[in-house]
Structure 1
Amino acid sequence: MKITVLGAGPAGLYFALLMKKQRPAHAITLLERDGPNDTFGWGIVFSQRTVEVLKDSDPDTCAEITRRAETWDDVAVVHKGQRITVGGNRFYGIARITLLNILHRRCLDHGVEIRFLTNVADLSELGPSDLLVGADGANSLVRRAYADFFLPLVDLRQNKYIWLGTEQPFEGLTMGFRQADAGLFITHSYRFSPTMSTFIVECPPEAWLKAGLDRMSGEETCVYLAGVFKAELQGRSLRSNNFAKWLNFPLVKNKRWHHRNVVLLGDALHTAHFSIGSGTKLALEDALALAGCFAEHRTVEAALPAFERVRKPIVDEFQQAATESLTWLENVGEHLGLDPVPFAYRLMTRSKRVGYNRLKQKDPAFIARYDRWRQEHPSTGAIPEEFLDLFQKRTFAHLATQMADGTPHVTSVWVDYDGKHVLINSAKGRLKDRNMEQRPHVALEITDPDDPNRYLAVRGAVAEITEEGADEHLDKLARRYLGRDQYPPGWKLPGEVRRIYKIAPERVTPWAPFR
């Protein structure tokens, strides 16, 4: 095949390499706007699992990457001036330019043609090819050219962020939270060489404006942020590498992944927030998956649909985790009052992919410390703290009430929690209303909408039924479940009277065996 790849980032380079190794007769050309030693950003990070995937598919490339990488096992959380570490998280950090240069050499050694400093402004400039791969980043020309077919969705998130570097060699992947006069600033930092670390800073737009960062030069920005994070940097400076640009993270999704002989890869296809470090991982795994589909199906017509079918569910799961993470950070203010240990626990479980059990396997000492804190600060409510997020999502509960003849009646309901009671909102006169009024003992299963294997089972009695504030409470629930400020009036029956049912939990069983 004649293959044209637009963009020589990790996704495009690795796909070209794998395809050339798979079939040397392929004529593969990569077109890259920048030069071979130009790059945005500083270092990138991989998990142990990503390295294992690379090793299985391409051991030579993997060996060169790991030989040049820094490694560590800890995630560190700095909050209220205290550093909390969580072990069992094997990571590899490498300079982005080093990774790209490794892939450059590997591609050239296998006969891939790379044309640097080639800026394609219009796809009509390209000659015919059997396969066109759009690996040209989050602002992809290929995606924009075929937007009517890919149907992209780009959501610019609220926090501002900037990529910087420092000569402070951080031990472990470190997240720091600092309150400055202007507001909250968050850092994500990790070592990618013996002497250098990536230092990403994000902040709410209000803090960014109040600090005057919109008016500062790159040098002034580095000086200001080095002052905010003086303790973390131990007095060392920040560097911009002549590229100090504040950005809003673009959350990129595409309804369709391919059109005719055109396919997207990497950030052109999807983005994942840097707080879970999965952008480059997803790019390389995209390349592996697409090359694997060509190995199995051979033709463009068969391989591209197979790629979307196999890969999309995995990417959707990662994007959901990344979105949970960035949303948590956008709303981190509600957690800043916590002590350092429970704050670190909340941070480590923010993506909903890691829970108590997995943390206990990774770092029993950290969980023992967290358990001691919980014993010293017992919850005032019946619902375990690590399950309170169920009452912040579009979580549907299954409510079981008892009929007059003793048989069960089960219905799906919206659910809330006031710190003492589980709350149900329904209409007076309905079957479940009559059941709860006459036979108050009930049971609920409250299932995590993101993980059906995680749920709360609650048994208890209806302690109070009240009409006071029920309409306002229904509007509150509508904001969470419907994304509307008010429950639609047309959904109510004429003369409908709403009620709140306050259920006092007598037995609560949390269940999350795989987290």
Structure 2
Amino acid sequence: MKIVCIGAGPAGLYFAISAKLRDAGHEISVVERDPPGATYGWGVVYWDDLLDTLYINDRESAQRIRAASTVWQDQVVVMRGGRAYLSGYGYSVNRSALLDVLAQRATDLGVDVQYERAVDDLAEFADADLVVVADGANSRIRQRCAEQFGTELVRGSNPYIWLGTSRVFEEFTFGFEQTPQGWIWFHAYPSAAGVSTFIVECQERTWQALGFDELDDAATTRLLEEIFDEHLAGHALISAARGKPASWQRFTQVYNQTWRHANAVLIGDAAHTTHFTIGSGTRLAMIDAVVLAEKLRENEQTGNALKEFDGEGHAAMRAVQAAARTSMAWFENLDRYADRDAVDFCFAMSSRSGLQPPWRYQVHRLTQNPLVRKGLRIANTAMRWVRARRRGESWQRRGAVSRP
């Protein structure tokens, strides 16, 4: 089968890997408009469920991704000088390191990865048996065929900017600052050695009142460093990722009534987006890649494979996208909850995607005790060990973050 993947992000590259592993006879090309190494953002987060899937699907790339990843323990909310905790752990990996691993693995398997080749029209690949459209939330191919895919776009109201910092955060940290112009906050987590991802978000009226609509890149970074000076502990914010400065964005919710049209299929953010506050975009993109590759293996007819992928994928995405919409709306109305102390605010944030039984609040209060948190960390480490052994991962205490 002749397959072309448009977009060398996690979705496109991992589909190419997954399809090639299932049938080495596939002739697969991945085309990307940007040069090698060009990427937006800093780090991406994921959890054991994705790591389990990656090890089952392709142990070679899974090991490399895990080796490049950092483990963080707990989520912490910092607000008005108070701190509140949510127990748990996760992994984060620098986005550019992830893409390097996937591009090299795809090349090793015989995939033709082509950079600096822009594609705007499906007609260019009329001779392909399948075109996998994986060029992100702003997909040009999807825009050209919006009517056929039944594309619906909803733009969020909160401006956000994706930065880095030399401050290494041990926990996944949410920091909230009240300025005379309104609340502004960040989400920070380790993403590479000596670097953390630092995403800043606020409401539109706060953004305009602080003057961000008129500030250039350098002035924006300086003002944010002043606002979050205590959280950054003297460390700098970094705007440019591989030479390109960050810019303020508004999150776009992408929904398509169907993910297939003619010889093309949408996957990853081109097909669906979930707000970054639930941290599922990369996981969903890579799962799309695995499922589509498996459907193609199971079905002799490509049309049947795409039909199953489309139907089952839409069904699986309903709850996820509903939770993501709810999470986005909560942060867009954050000032409704900001009169609470850090512990109560943290509970409201953690339960934003659904109703919670009354006892859950009492458990949350209990977990603020340092001894209880220590016990939970030990339990989480044990769980991580069990999951690692189960998937055949060699256990090392690698990727731990040094406390700054």
Global fold match (TM > 0.5): yes
TM-score class normalised by the smaller sequence: 0.7 to 0.9
TM, length-normalised to structure 1: 0.69
1:2 aligns to 2:21 (yes or no): no
Q: Please give the secondary structure, in 2, of the residue aligned with 1:124.
A: helix
Structure 1 partner of 2:387:
none
CA separation of 1:10 and 1:353: change in aligned 2, threshold 3 A: farther
Structure 1 partner of 2:29:
29
1:1-37 Cα distance to aligned partner (Å, 9 max, x none): 0001111100000001000111000000111011111
Q: CA deviation at 1:205?
A: 0.9
Structure 2 partner of 1:301:
303
TM, length-normalised to structure 2: 0.87
What is the correspondence of 1:366-445 to structure 2 with a 5 Å cutoff? 366-368=364-366
Q: Please give the secondary structure, in 1, of the residue aligned with 2:193.
A: coil
Structure 1 partner of 2:393:
none
Separation of aligned partners in 1, 2:108 and 2:267 = 23
Equivalent pair of 2:51/2:62 in contact (CA under 8 Å): yes
Separation of aligned partners in 1, 2:7 and 2:357 = 37
Q: CA deviation at 1:128?
A: 1.5
Between 1 and 2, higher relative CO (CA 8 Å, sep ≥ 6) is seen in: 2
Q: CA deviation at 1:369?
A: 5.2
Amino acid paired to 2:138: N
Amino acid paired to 1:228: I
1:187-245 Cα distance to aligned partner (Å, 9 max, x none): 01110123100000011111111111111111111110111111111121111113221
Equivalent pair of 1:166/1:237 in contact (CA under 8 Å): yes
Q: Which runs of 5+ in 1 are unaligned?
A: 372-515
Q: CA deviation at 1:358?
A: 7.5
Amino acid paired to 2:298: E
Q: Please give the secondary structure, in 2, of the residue aligned with 1:65.
A: helix
1:266 aligns to 2:254 (yes or no): no
1:317-338 Cα distance to aligned partner (Å, 9 max, x none): 1111111111101111110011
Structure 2 partner of 1:249:
251
Q: Please give the secondary structure, in 1, of the residue aligned with 2:192.
A: coil
Structure 1 partner of 2:195:
196
Equivalent pair of 2:136/2:269 in contact (CA under 8 Å): yes
Separation of aligned partners in 2, 1:51 and 1:125 = 36
What is the correspondence of 1:11-22 to structure 2 with a 5 Å cutoff? 11-22=11-22
Q: Please give the secondary structure, in 2, of the residue aligned with 1:158.
A: strand
CA separation of 1:270 and 1:354: change in aligned 2, threshold 3 A: farther
CA separation of 1:122 and 1:295: change in aligned 2, threshold 3 A: closer
Structure 2 partner of 1:235:
234
Q: Which runs of 5+ in 2 are unaligned?
A: 370-404
- The percent identity for this pair of structures is 38
Structure 1 partner of 2:141:
142
Structure with the higher fraction of residues in helix conformation = 2
Equivalent pair of 1:3/1:130 in contact (CA under 8 Å): yes
What is the correspondence of 1:448-467 to structure 2 with a 5 Å cutoff? none
> Which structure would you say has the larger Rg?
1
> How many pairs are equivalent?
366
Structure 1 partner of 2:397:
none
1:462-506 Cα distance to aligned partner (Å, 9 max, x none): xxxxxxxxxxxxxxxxxxxxxxxxxxxxxxxxxxxxxxxxxxxxx
Equivalent pair of 1:349/1:355 in contact (CA under 8 Å): no
1:329-349 Cα distance to aligned partner (Å, 9 max, x none): 111111001111111111111
Q: Please give the secondary structure, in 2, of the residue aligned with 1:50.
A: helix
1:348-377 Cα distance to aligned partner (Å, 9 max, x none): 1112287777898xxx5x442579xxxxxx
Separation of aligned partners in 1, 2:56 and 2:189 = 26
Structure 2 partner of 1:224:
223
Amino acid paired to 2:190: R
Equivalent pair of 1:3/1:131 in contact (CA under 8 Å): yes
Q: Please give the secondary structure, in 1, of the residue aligned with 2:273.
A: coil
Amino acid paired to 2:343: V
Equivalent pair of 2:173/2:189 in contact (CA under 8 Å): yes
What is the correspondence of 1:115-134 to structure 2 with a 5 Å cutoff? 115-134=114-133
Amino acid paired to 2:137: A
Q: Please give the secondary structure, in 2, of the residue aligned with 1:87.
A: strand
